[in-house]
């Protein structure tokens, strides 16, 4: 497949989970990938996987909560590969606490990583695209919890709701430059972030229509599609990848 030949795409949180799968799938369609993650060794491993399947990629260590580091990441990408076509703002964390135990440090940590990093990726990414004359694509990872509330997730709910609106507002403002902005809202994904409690994972799985956790490659497939020209009419919206959770949740 060569739908993304010539495209250079940054994937934050690319060392594992959805980010790893997206890096592999985007590469398989011809894109050059910069795998950006705080876990540099993990990012390098994904690069090796991409190269083993015949793709081109580079690893980059980044703290996504630091705007200067995101700017440097974008600059590195454009300088190394000669262009910059898009960014998947995917890096994120969770920190579950009851609201009355959610001290300012706990609140700001999640906001900094899950919300502010998306702004930095959009801002510096769009600036670079305009500078280069590239009509690119920005995809942001939101969540089902950007739409509904969950106990213990005040910070996460706030951050992901902001990502939904930033995707809408960014698309509106950047349309004149030919830059498209979309979001994805995953349901409960089968990654280590869910922990090892099998009963808890079973409960989460049962929230989906099929009663199963969603594998990260399913979200990555949606993300990869959103970067292609076939998705050019999808703009300013956030696509649920939740197996019906937001439409049919009963528990």
Contact 34, 60 (CB under 8 A): yes
Q: Given phi > 0 = left and psi -120 to 50 = alpha, else beta, which region is 30? A: left
Q: Report the catalytic residues.
A: 156
Q: What is the biggest distance separating any 2 CA atoms in the chain, rounded to whole angstroms?
A: 51
Written as six digits, the tokens of 182 are 């979309």
Which residues make beta-bridge pairs with 181? 138
HSE, side-chain direction, 13 A CA sphere, residue 29: 20
**Beta strands across the sheet bearing 238-241:** 57-61, 32-37, 8-12, 86-89, 137-141, 180-186, 238-241
Distance CA 217, CA 205 (A): 16
Distance CA 19, CA 49 (A): 13
Contact 199, 154 (CB under 8 A): no
């Amino acid at each position: 497949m060569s739908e993304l030949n010539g495209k250079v795409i940054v994937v934050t949180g690319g060392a594992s989970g959805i980010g790893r799968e997206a890096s592999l799938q985007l590469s398989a369609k011809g894109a050059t990938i910069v795998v950006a993650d705080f876990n540099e060794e993990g990012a390098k491993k994904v690069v090796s996987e991409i190269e083993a399947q015949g793709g081109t990629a580079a690893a980059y260590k980044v703290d996504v909560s630091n705007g200067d580091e995101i700017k440097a990441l974008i600059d590195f990408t454009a300088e190394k590969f000669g262009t910059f076509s898009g960014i998947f703002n995917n890096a994120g964390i969770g920190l579950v606490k009851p609201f009355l135990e959610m001290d300012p440090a706990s609140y700001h940590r999640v906001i900094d990583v899950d919300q502010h990093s998306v702004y930095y990726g959009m801002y510096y990414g769009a600036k670079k695209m305009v500078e280069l004359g590239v009509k690119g694509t920005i995809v942001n990872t939101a969540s089902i919890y950007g739409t509904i509330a969950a106990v213990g997730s005040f910070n996460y709910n706030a951050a992901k709701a902001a990502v939904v609106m930033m995707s809408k507002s960014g698309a509106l403002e950047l349309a004149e430059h030919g830059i498209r902005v979309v979001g994805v809202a995953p349901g409960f994904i089968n990654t280590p972030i869910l922990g090892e409690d099998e009963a808890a994972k079973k409960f989460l799985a049962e929230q989906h229509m099929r009663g199963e956790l969603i594998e990260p490659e399913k979200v990555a497939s949606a993300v990869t599609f959103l970067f292609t020209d076939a998705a050019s009419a999808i703009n300013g919206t956030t696509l649920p990848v939740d197996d019906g959770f937001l439409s049919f949740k009963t528990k």
